[in-house]
Every structure is written in C-alpha cells, then in structure tokens.
Amino acid sequence: MRRHLYAAAALLLAAGCAVGVAVGCGSRADEEGRGRVTELPQPGPELSKELMLGLSLAKNYHHKADVYLMEARVEQAVAAVRQILTIQFPPGSAEGEDIVHDARARLAKLLVTQGQLDEALVVVDKGIAGTTRESFFVANLHTTRGEVLEARAVQIEDRDKTAAATARREANASYDKAIAIEKALLEELAGGDE
C-alpha cells in the first residue's frame, strides 16, 4: 500500500514536470516566432503618431534640400536641413536621435562644400556630444568629422604644415572611432542572427 502511494506521488510529480516543460518550450517558441532576428531583443514603446509626424517632416525637409541642390542652391539646401535639427521628436525615441545625427552629417558635408569648415566641425561635434548610444549614425558622424578635418588639413597645408598634420591625425582618429563603432554593432547584429 505504501509503495503504491509513493508510486502515485512520483507519477504526479513527473506529470507536473512534463506540463511545465511543455509550457515553457511553447512560450519560447512563440517568442521566437515573432519579429525579425536582426531586431533588438528589447523593443521600445509603440510607434506613435508624434514620431511618425517627426519622421515625415524630416523626410520632406531632406527632399526639399534635394530639390535645391539640383538647382545648385546650396544655401537654401543648408537652411532646409537645419530645420530638421529643430524637430521635436518624442523624448527618448531612437529613430529621432538617428535622424538628427544623419541630418547633422548631411549639413556638415554641405557646409564643407561651402568652405565653412569650422561651422561644419561644430555641427558634427554637437551631434557626437549629444549621443546617448552608439549607432551607425554616430559612426557616420565620426566619419563626417574625419572628412571635415581632412578638408581643413588641405585648407591649411600651405600656411601651417604642423596644424595640417594634426588635423590629419585627428581625422584618422575620427575614422578609427567610426570603425570601432561599426565593428561593435556588426558583431552585435551578427550575434542576434545566430
């Protein structure tokens, strides 16, 4: 009799374990079935109307700048891209930060074509200083900074070779930062794929 009781208790425990394992496996399978493997594992808040409006606004300013550039009206294109920096995205929105970084990079490159290297450097440095996380857009900002410094080196080459050399070193440092960020992100994404 006592042996039968032990056997029944063991069977009950085994059944409970089996149910728990089945439920656990099922829920994990559900989670894996959702989303893309390259997406971040911890999604943020849901896409809001404010965010979409901000993105749409930025998109239109970029297209406006494209049109100006087709007519070689660089100053107007610069003004249009500057407007993107004033857009109020929802606080903490990752897309907003990325878009503003990208706009700063484009603005800096436009300023370089205008010969306004100092201002271009200020625009890029402000973007890098306001970074909350590493991203391909931050890496792009470092890349743009390197380009600005390269252009400065060329600009001052004849007047001050030492300063030009310093600018080149700084440019390389910026490229190195960009490369480091990109590598880290690529590894992270590759890890998410597995």
| Binding track, positions 134-173, relative to another protein; x by CB under 8 A | -xxx-xx--xx--x--------------------------
53 binds another protein, rule: CB under 8 A = no
Among 73, 82, 85, 109, binds another protein (CB under 8 A): 109
Q: Which stretch binds another protein (CB under 8 A): 9-17, 46-54, 151-159, 166-174?
A: 46-54
Size of the site for another protein (CB under 8 A): 48
Which of 138, 142, 74 is CA-nearest to residue 112? 74
For residue 140, how far is the Cα from the chain centroid?
9
Among 6, 32, 46, 72, binds another protein (CB under 8 A): 46
Residue 172 has a CB neighbour count (10 Å cut-off) of 13
Among 90, 119, 163, 166, binds another protein (CB under 8 A): 90
58 binds another protein, rule: CB under 8 A = yes
62 binds another protein, rule: CB under 8 A = yes
| Dihedral sign from CA coordinates of 11, 12, 15, 20 | negative
Q: Is 6 helix (H, G, I), strand (E, B) or coil?
A: helix
d(CA 188, CA 194): 10
d(CA 30, CA 32): 5
HSE value, Cβ hemisphere, 13 Å, CA-based, for 128: 20
Among 68, 78, 105, 151, binds another protein (CB under 8 A): 105
Tell me whether residue 76 or residue 163 sits nearer to another protein (CB atom): 76
Residue 168 has a CB neighbour count (10 Å cut-off) of 17
For residue 128, give the amino acid letter. Answer: I
Residues contacting residue 182 through CB under 8 Å, at least 6 positions apart: 136, 139
Which residues make up the interface to another protein (CB under 8 A)? 34-36, 38-40, 43-48, 51-52, 55-56, 58-59, 62-63, 65-66, 90, 93-95, 98-99, 102-103, 105-106, 109-110, 133, 135-137, 139-140, 143-144, 147, 182, 185-186, 189, 192
